[in-house]
């Protein structure tokens, strides 16, 4: 890539962070399947442990395959640095581990991936962290949930269970007034559709497991430091702005400036909590990212066609896809993701709970499972699976009423995807 030209998104998806292997000339990024790295001498080892020089010590903390993935995701998002970890949930846990002390709070949108709701309300309690929920559609509800203990705001850009577009800029304004960072989970959109930095995000998290990896074969997660939040001026985040006892008193935000958050997440939180990504998973996800722009566009185009077709079907009560004119989120979708409204959305069956069960039992091309963002088309009936433990009222609040079906539209021929839904709906 020439120095004068700023490479475009397609180019970055293939090249960012990578170069031919200096030892072998290998063009694809090798899988550095090693736990540890030989020191040049005692002084080199000391400099590495003191963070005076960048280099590899142990794969729990850094690995060359993982490093390419980190640079790739950070470049696509436009951030200052990235950190790849074992899963999307690990990314979230590490972000909050850097930001929160026992007794601290954060405000999160209520419209979240179900696993995130469990993590925030159940596991985080054991760290002494509490969450208050607000409504994605109402920036004022985030303001109302703030307390003097609030240290962050968390939203999804395209929110679960799909079809919801978040007004990131409006919620960023609340975060800025409160002096706290805005964390955006950009999993469903990917940076191909939405770049949260442009709308005021300070930290981005990803489940790489979904569209970024894209092939349903590896679990992974990422954190992107947007380099936008002034931790030193705030003074409310001691991990970043106070001397670190485990590194001879260095201050992360001072020594590493606008990528101090990413460094702290790696050398403090990842080092001590330990959810490292395997080099093999990093390799598979990197390979997936090379075709992200092509895949994401086809995912969106197929999803729009399927949503249009479902809207006209006699057994379908409603379709919630933000790409459909007339949808509640259509204007936000035009503004935030003009290339497409993603590939995950819900629709309701006139046949209710029984209809949902019959539909998922009769699909042939679609896979009935609890994932999204695969090349394959996926379907789930939340009321009989992911949300079956909840009460009727909780299910309705989570957008998982008895009649609701969720699709993750894949990359097959759209005529085949529609034909499969057509024959399965005939059995409803
Ligand atoms: C899947 C998902 C997660 C969790 O990611 P894992 O890789 O499964 O740990 C978090 N947020 C969203 C929006 C997701 O879809």
Is the CB of residue 207 below 6 angstroms from any atom belonging to ligand 1?
yes
* Alpha carbon 4 to chain centroid, angstroms: 31
User: What tokens were used for 104?
Assistant: 């601290």
185 lines ligand 1 (CB under 6 A): yes
Q: Quickly count: other Cβ atoms within 10 Å of residue 140's Cβ.
A: 11
Instruction: Indicate the pLDDT class of residue 206, thresholds 50, 70 and 90.
Output: very high
Measured in whole angstroms, how far is the alpha carbon of residue 239 from the centre of its chain?
23
What are the angstrom distances between the C-alpha of 96 and each of 131, 262, 405?
A: 11, 12, 32
Measure the CA dihedral 68/72/73/76, to 10°: 170
Q: Which of the four pLDDT bands, split at 50, 70 and 90, describes residue 396?
A: confident
Two tokens at 335? 């503004």
List domains and CATH numbers for the chain: 9-288 (3.40.640.10), 292-425 (3.90.1150.10)
> Measuring from atom 2 of ligand 1, which residue has the nearest CA?
207
pLDDT value of position 78: 98
Is ligand 1 within 6 A of the CB of residue 187?
yes
Cα(92) to centroid(ligand 1), Å: 9
Question: Average model confidence (pLDDT) for the chain?
Answer: 96
| Higher per-residue pLDDT: 161 or 357 | 357
| 186 in contact with ligand 1, CB cutoff 6 A | no
pTM above 0.95, yes or no: yes
Least Cα distance to 14 among 313, 359, 328, 291 occurs for: 291
Q: In the structure, what pLDDT confidence band is assigned to residue 90 with cuts at 50, 70 and 90?
A: very high
Structure tokens at 345: 């959305």
Provide the pLDDT confidence category of residue 392 given band limits of 50, 70 and 90: confident
Q: Across the chain, which distance is largest between two alpha carbons, in Å?
A: 74
Q: Decide if pLDDT at 2 tops 60.
A: no
């Amino acid at each position: 890539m020439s120095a004068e030209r700023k490479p475009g998104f397609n180019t970055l998806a293939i090249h960012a962070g990578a170069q031919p292997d200096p030892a072998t000339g290998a063009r694809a990024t090798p899988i550095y399947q090693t736990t540890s790295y030989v020191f040049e001498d005692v002084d080199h080892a000391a400099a590495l442990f003191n963070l005076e020089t960048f280099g590899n010590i142990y794969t729990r903390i850094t690995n060359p395959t993982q490093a390419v993935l980190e640079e790739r995701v950070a470049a696509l998002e436009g951030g200052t640095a990235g950190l790849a970890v074992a899963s999307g949930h690990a990314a979230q846990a590490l972000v909050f581990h850097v930001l929160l002390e026992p007794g601290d709070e954060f405000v999160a949108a209520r419209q979240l991936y179900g696993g995130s709701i469990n993590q925030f309300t159940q596991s985080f309690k054991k760290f002494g962290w509490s969450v208050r929920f607000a409504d994605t559609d109402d920036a004022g509800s985030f303001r109302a949930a703030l307390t003097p203990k609030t240290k962050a705001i968390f939203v999804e850009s395209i929110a679960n269970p799909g079809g919801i577009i978040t007004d990131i800029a409006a919620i960023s304004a609340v975060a800025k007034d409160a002096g706290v960072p805005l964390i955006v989970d950009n999993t469903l959109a990917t940076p191909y559709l939405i770049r949260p930095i442009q709308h005021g995000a300070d930290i981005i998290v990803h489940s790489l497991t979904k569209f970024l990896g894209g092939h349903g074969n590896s679990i992974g997660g990422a954190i992107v430091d947007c380099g936008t939040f002034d931790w030193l001026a705030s003074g409310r985040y001691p991990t970043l702005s106070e001397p670190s006892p485990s590194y001879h008193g260095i201050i992360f935000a001072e020594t590493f400036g606008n990528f101090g958050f990413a460094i702290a997440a790696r050398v403090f939180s990842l080092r001590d909590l330990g959810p490292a990504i395997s080099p093999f998973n990093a390799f598979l996800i990197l390979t997936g990212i090379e075709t992200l722009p092509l895949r994401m566009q086809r995912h969106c185009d197929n999803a729009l066609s399927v949503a249009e077709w479902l809207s006209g079907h006699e057994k379908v009560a409603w379709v919630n896809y933000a790409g459909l004119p007339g949808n509640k989120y259509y204007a936000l979708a035009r503004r935030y993701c003009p290339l497409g409204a993603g590939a995950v959305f819900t629709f309701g069956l006139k046949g209710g709970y029984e209809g949902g069960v019959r539909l998922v039992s009769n699909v042939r091309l679609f896979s009935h499972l609890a994932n999204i963002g695969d090349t394959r088309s996926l379907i789930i009936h939340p009321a009989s699976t992911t949300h079956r433990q909840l009460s009727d009222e909780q299910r309705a609040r989570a957008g998982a009423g008895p009649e609701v079906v969720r699709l993750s539209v894949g990359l097959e021929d759209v005529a085949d995807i529609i034909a499969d839904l057509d024959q399965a709906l005939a059995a409803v």
